[in-house]
Chains A and B, each alone.
Chain A
Amino acid sequence: MNRLNQLYAWLMLLPALLMLLAFTYLPTVTTLWHSVFYPARGSQPAQFAGLDNYRMLIDDPVFWQALSNNLWYALGTVPLSIALALAMALWVNGRIGGRTALRLAYFTPTMLPMIAVANIWLFFYTPEIGLFNRLLECVGLPGINWLGDPDWALPSLMLMTVWKEAGFFMIFYLAALQALSRDLYQAAALEGASALYTFRRLTLPLLMPTTLFVLVNAVLNAFKLVDHLFILTKGGPNNASNLLLYYIYENAFSFFDSSYAATLTVILLALLVTLALLQFRLIERRIHYR
């Protein structure tokens, strides 16, 4: 009976496992394989390169810049969009007029395609005719060359990303908030707990599973969402806003260097796995699943 159960379980898992094998694990292995070969040119077969591609990577200043940009990008967008998402969720969870309209308004940026949004923001950011500089002008501040100044290009990308992502994460928080038990809040009210105390000791801990989920997703997105770069900066000026995945795309499709692109992908993959493990380790201890 037990054995039959086992077989049954494996059979149930098989379809998903096959899909994962075909579309996740197999590509991972081929990527590793490609990263130790030189790129094939024309009809000649690719030659074994050993660790040459990795040596090239260590010597490549653009790679290091893209990596550090990406870390800053994650550091800038992840906490901010999560905090904003939580604030918005708390706000639209309360009993206020026009609640549905407000929820929809917050969620709209998520529904729009990234490329379309970036095309609009490109004009927001344009120095002479853009919305942002007009606003600055109204309060008497000098304009900024948002995407053309290396100090501002990356923060400008971050700003748009936070705007785009916060609404999405808000939905998860909102769902979690609505599932929280009223009893606990009544008990807190009876005890005379302040709003802040209730939030800190009751709401926040109960939302921890959602926070982990959102955090993992936000960190992943910080590394895999680069659609807007194609429109806004193309990684420029002078790589000031280049991110790892965009650099991989450039190598694979602009430079036709699939080997180096594979090498960069291996690094990105290793980075993401490490980050995911770290997050699970660190946060799991502070989560109370019910």
Chain B
Amino acid sequence: MLNRRNTRLALGLTTLLASAAQAQTALTLYYPVSVGGPLTQVVDGMIADFERQNPEIDVNAIYAGNYNDARVKALAALQSGQPAQLSVMFSIDVHELRDLDAIVPFDEVVETAAERQWLQSFYPALMENGAVDGTTWGIPFQRSTIVMYYNKEAFREAGLDPEQPPKSWDELAEMGQKLVKKDADGQVERWGAMIPSTGYPYWMFGALAKQNGAVLMNSAGNETYFNQPEMVEALSYWRDLSRKYHVMPEGTIEWGTLRQNFLEQKTAIMWHSTGNLTAVKNNAKFDFGVAMLPAHKNFGSPTGGGNFYLFKKASPEERKAALQLVQFMTSPEQAAKWSIATGYMGVSPAAYDTAALKQYVQSFPPAAVARDQLKYATAELATHQSGRVRKLLDDAIQAVLNGQAEPQAALDTAQKQAQRILSRY
């Protein structure tokens, strides 16, 4: 008798638990990490906070490698019927994701006036890559610009003012030459500057182009301007830094090991993502500074990094929950926390108004450089068939830096091939 009642009780409990589980909305998201440091722990911590505040939503956040891997994994999951309602992916994937019909614009998901207001709360420069045809497809999350890290001790040693980093192309070449240190045999012990040319050469080139007053493509992503005179001049300058001024080593410079080079004082200056800032701060055994990239006609850097995207294949409840999660992750408090932990930018002006980030910027001014540079920033190279178009430009840049081709010829070829690919769009 007792036994039977127990069984019934247990059955009842199970049903109750099952219905509770059904009320839960489960979200799966993929996210990339493209710079060093234990960033996955930071993301996991933020997700855990979100789940504590929203017990009815269950988030499965999956670290998926670099930007390319994250896109491949998220899309593969979707194609094989695995759930994924949102993901952090490269901000420049937007055209491709639209062509694949994989994402929905945020404008379709927001409902209330407050939510519509929220769409306007971010830095406009960070929205450039995410907005196409007046619609918002990506919300900025792990966003960066390129900044110039420099070794103040090297500056002092070379007789330069450590508070006056180079502000123009000419100054970079000139100071760079002074910063090169050679041993008795004439071997270089420390280079003046390094601009990485593997991994994301087109990104660095976008900075030089913007500094020379030009952009790489139109916002519809169906036209490129690779061989304009400003571009040729920019690429020539990049090459000259190694082959004419001997400030930089010849050949390509590896993206992945550059930070280590800087930390071991093998280069006095490096251009790198601001996403490296906290890692450099924690590991540099010398006094270092961070500055905006030098100007030619004007200052300039492309923005970079990852945006939140919402996938099409999701129920209305899931979309709502996904929007909630994105709002949480990009809220001023979380953005401030994320920025302090990584060096990525606080994505909205409100983030820099939080007590935490205000205080951090005050105690560590380099944290504000990326933000200050935003007013000179432009979108990162994003087109239809972006992988292929990007590779054309990457190959042209590497060919020039390696002395296999002249800037004009290499960029002409890249432009011609890019235009052939884009003529369909």
Q: What is A's interface to B at a CB cutoff of 8 Å?
A: 41-43, 62, 122-123, 126-129, 137, 140, 142-143, 145, 147-150, 231, 233-234, 236-240, 250, 253-257
CA distance A143 to B261 in the complex (A): 15
B387–A255 CB distance below 8 A: yes
Closest CB of chain A to B412's CB: distance in Å?
Answer: 15
Stretch of B153-161, B230-238, B244-252 lying at the A interface: B244-252
B80 to chain A, nearest CB (A): 14
Pairwise interchain contact B99-A148, C-beta atoms closer than 8 A: no
**A-B interface, 8 closest residue pairs, ranked by CB to CB distance from nearest:** A128-B266, A148-B251, A148-B252, A145-B251, A254-B387, A237-B398, A238-B398, A42-B101
Q: How many residues of B contact A (CB 8 A)?
A: 36
A42: chain B residues within 8 A (beta carbon): 99-101
For window 232-271 of B, CB contacts with A under 8 Å fall at 249-254, 256-257, 260-261, 264, 266-267
Whether A129 contacts B266 in the complex (CB less than 8 A), given A143-B187, A149-B402, A254-B387, comes out as yes
Distance in angstroms between the alpha carbons of A145 and B256 in the assembled complex:
14
Residues of chain A contacted by B256 (CB below 8 angstroms): 122, 231
Given known A127-B249, A145-B252, A236-B252, contact A250–B257 (CB-CB < 8 A) = no
List 19 other contacts, CB 8 Å, given A128-B191, A253-B72.
A41-B99, A41-B100, A42-B101, A126-B254, A129-B260, A129-B264, A147-B198, A147-B252, A148-B249, A148-B253, A148-B402, A149-B252, A231-B256, A237-B398, A238-B399, A239-B395, A253-B68, A255-B385, A256-B100
Query: Could you list 29 A-B pairs, sorted by A, with CB under 8 Å?
Result: A41-B100, A43-B101, A122-B256, A122-B257, A123-B257, A126-B254, A127-B249, A128-B249, A128-B264, A129-B257, A137-B187, A145-B251, A147-B254, A148-B197, A148-B251, A148-B402, A231-B256, A237-B197, A237-B252, A237-B398, A237-B399, A240-B402, A254-B387, A254-B388, A255-B385, A255-B387, A256-B100, A256-B387, A257-B388
B residues near A126, Cβ cutoff 8 Å: 254, 257, 260-261
A253 to B250, CA, bound (A): 31
B260 to chain A: which residues have CB within 8 Å? 123, 126, 129
Residue of A nearest to B98 (CB): A42
CB-defined interface of B110-125 with A at 8 Å, one 1/0 digit per residue? Answer: 0000000000000000
Mask: chain B, 380-423; 1 = CB below 8 Å from A; 0 = not = 00000101100100110011011010000000000000000000
Q: How far is the CA of A233 from the CA of B385 in the complex (A)?
A: 22
When distances are taken between beta carbons in the complex, the residues of chain B under 8 Å from A150 are 251, 402, 404
Q: Which residue of A lies closest to B399 (CB)?
A: A238
- Whole-angstrom distance from the CB of B402 to the nearest CB of chain A? 5
Q: How far is the CB of A198 from chain B (nearest CB, A)?
A: 48
What's the least CB distance linking B228 to chain A, in Å?
Answer: 21
Q: How far is the CA of A188 from the CA of B265 in the complex (A)?
A: 62
The answer to whether A250 and B198 touch across the interface, beta carbons within 8 angstroms, is: no
Contact B402 A254 (CB under 8 A): no
Q: Nearest A residue to B101 by beta-carbon distance?
A: A42
CB <8 Å contact, A142 and B187:
yes
